[in-house]
Amino acid sequence: MGKEHVRTDKEDLIIFSYDATSTTGMPDVIVAPANAEEVAAVIKLANEKLIPVVPRGGGSNLSGGSIATSGGIVLSMMRMNKILEIDEENLTATLQPGVITADFNAAVDACGLMYPPDPQSASMSSMGGNVAENAGGPRGVKYGVTKDYILGLKVVMPNGDMVKVGGKMVKNVSGYDLIRLFTGSEGTLCVITEITVRLIPKPEAKKTMLALFNSLDDAANTVAGIIKKRIIPTTMELMNQDAMTLIEEFKPVGFPTDAEGALLIEVDGAVADVERQADNIIEVCTACGASEVKVARNAEESAKLWMGRKAGFGAFTAKAFTVLAEDATVPRSKVPDIVRRIQEISKKYNVRIPILGHTGDGNMHPNIMCDSRDPEEMKRVDAAIDEIFRAALDLGGTLSGEHGIGHSKQKYMKWEFGEEGLNVMRSIKKALDPNNILNPGKML
């Protein structure tokens, strides 16, 4: 693949030693293959020599999953960045793993189609990383997450074998569902070299609303209220007052800083359906205590609201040395309970936690603002995170809705699955990767 694509200089190693978390791990070498054959050659050699390999896309991971915590090879997939085909007859697209999500979305949109999964990191995350993490996003409430759109994969196994699973077929029940096994496996079972996804027609219209509440509890209760009315919006995002205040200081978009809570809600579909759903949502929000429901009058106003929501993480990092973005997820009916618990935990440990969340599917994003250089504060932060995850599990939830387990949540896995559940996962890992070379020290 050429010496220029095998790097060992200190500057490059440092760049690849971190992701979007505070976790770090220095690799020994960075290798950037251009095709599946080069990936297979690297993996085969690494397996023979027992060298750890960490697959890496855009580096936007929020759980330390793309960090070389055991050294070894970081396998950068970003040279494999071609959209190979957009098939408008079969409503599929085939692409390489290094394609940036936003670039893929733009290409699909130009064909009048849509790929629904929409991680907030779309401008920098890779499609291969999305598959490895089973990424979601705000549209998950209506459209689901990455696993719901993967039709086929080409992967390289830990021994260097190249394997194809699935294809363009919408229906396929032949053999074990390896696509679902590999999707969300966080680079621990295989390296993804090609992806075939399902597309849908681009919705005819959409409408964006911002519902404001004097009570965060009322805002949280409205989520289940809307779903109970058999309305499934495209997005339903919760923001608390602290989050909106920080966003306005960072990137003013018109979020009111005197509201205790807000829901950013969007509906899409046929024009008549959009109007009807929007009217029904406004009615439910008002009945649940909304002081006002603002409706974006055009695409520009809608884009401005979403620009504010997407600026959340940047707004928090602008005011804190360290921001730990967690994503504990609960059943929708338990959203008010987890919001209350996060607020109580914030006060108990004197830790600032602005709250965002894809609350339409119960996916909360408590963002812990802190300073990792302060040992005393980090003790309180660690205790707060422990309690947040315990609260989510007690409410029938899960550790992660979309960020993955990686390195940062690994210690909590036994809380959710017990040793019996973990042993099932370990047996799968052992069968496919007996030498434990692929992303060791992650997830399990």
Query: Binning pLDDT at 50, 70 and 90, where does residue 23 land?
Result: confident
Class of domain 205-394: alpha beta
Please say if the pLDDT value at position 1 is more than 80: no
* CB distance 25 to 70 below 8 Å: yes
Instruction: Give the model's pLDDT for residue 142.
Output: 97
- pLDDT tens string 293-341: 999 999 999 999 999 999 999 999 999 999 999 999 999 999 999 999 9
Query: Binning pLDDT at 50, 70 and 90, where does residue 21 land?
Result: confident
Query: Could you give the angle at the alpha carbon of 373 between the alpha carbons of 369 and 378, nearest 5°?
Result: 55
Q: Which two tokens stand for residue 396?
A: 């029938």
Please say if the pLDDT value at position 267 is more than 80: yes
Mean pLDDT of 150-164: 99
Residue the block writes with tokens 């996916």: 363
Of the given ranges (16-20, 36-40, 360-364), which has the lowest mean pLDDT? 16-20
First to last CA, the chain: 33
Instruction: Supply the DSSP string of 29-66, one letter for each residue.
Output: EEE--SSHHHHHHHHHHHHHHT--EEEESSS--SSSTT
Looking at CATH, the fold of the domain delimited by 83-201 is given as 3.30.465
Q: Which two tokens stand for residue 112?
A: 């009048």
Q: Residue 201: is it exposed, middle or buried by C-beta count within 10 angstroms (0-12/13-18/19+)?
A: exposed
d(CA 269, CA 281): 15
Please say if the pLDDT value at position 365 is more than 90: yes
Instruction: Give the model's pLDDT for residue 398.
Output: 97
d(CA 246, CA 260): 13
What share of the chain in percent tops pLDDT 70?
A: 100
Instruction: Give the model's pLDDT for residue 2.
Output: 86
- pLDDT tens string 412-428: 999 999 999 999 999 99
Please say if the pLDDT value at position 254 is more than 80: yes
CB atoms within 10 A of CB 167: 13
d(CA 264, CA 211): 7
Domain positions in the chain = 3-76, 83-201, 205-394
Mean pLDDT of 62-67: 92
Residues 340-361 as b/e (b if ≥16 CB within 10 A, e otherwise) read: ebbbebbeebebebbbbbbbbb
Instruction: Give the model's pLDDT for residue 5.
Output: 96
Q: Residue 244: which residues within 8 A CB-CB, separation 6 or more? A: 255, 256, 257, 259, 262
CATH 3.30.43.10 for domain 3-76? yes
